[in-house]
Amino acid sequence: MFRYHRLPAVLAVLLLGLPWGVLAEEKSGQMVYDQTCIVCHHAGRLGAPKLADGKRWRHLVAEGLDDLVPAALGGLRQMPARGGNPNLSDGEVARAVVWMVNQHGAQAAEPDEAAIKRWRAMADRQKKR
């Protein structure tokens, strides 16, 4: 007979056996925008380019992801690293940048692990300057 008072222990054992990715699923670019980036990019707070400002974003799209993603990861001017949310992974930040540029005509693909690692290294190098 199953004892309900043992249920928390059983669940804990089952959860510990799962790969971490199952427990901490990465957010999509739009989810990250809606939860973090929107704070500044909706109203242009601290000089952030408003998501609705197509002219300004066309210039950013032209700069390319190799400039934009490292800046978002490491911070730039008044924008803090990771948009001020230290809980975001590098991949989540990259997906948010891709989502934002794709709102303005870019057709950037979902970033792969190699691109994310390259952008992290670029952000780290920029920080040392």
Q: Which structural domain, as residue segments, surrounds residue 103?
A: 25-128
Q: Is residue 35 included in any domain, yes or no?
A: yes
Q: What is the CATH number of the domain that holds 97?
A: 1.10.760.10
Residue 125 dihedral angles phi and psi, to the nearest 5°? -65, -40
pLDDT tens-place string over residues 87-126: 999 999 999 999 999 999 889 999 999 999 999 999 999 8
Q: Is residue 15 included in any domain, yes or no?
A: no
Q: Say how far apart CA 117 and CA 31 lie, in whole Å.
A: 21
pLDDT tens-place string over residues 43-97: 999 899 999 999 999 999 999 999 999 999 999 888 899 999 999 999 999 999 9
Band the pLDDT of 25: cuts 50, 70, 90. Answer: confident
Check residue 11 and give its pLDDT: 47
Q: Say how far apart CA 63 and CA 66 lie, in whole Å.
A: 8
Q: Say how far apart CA 129 and CA 123 lie, in whole Å.
A: 10
Check residue 105 and give its pLDDT: 87
Distances (CA, A) of 12 to 9, 16, 17, 29, 103: 5, 6, 9, 31, 41
Q: Is residue 31 included in any domain, yes or no?
A: yes
Tell whether the model's pLDDT for residue 9 goes beyond 90: no
Q: Considering its fold, how many domains does the chain have in total?
A: 1
Q: How many CB atoms lie within 10 A of CB 77?
A: 8
* Maximal CA-CA distance, the chain: 67
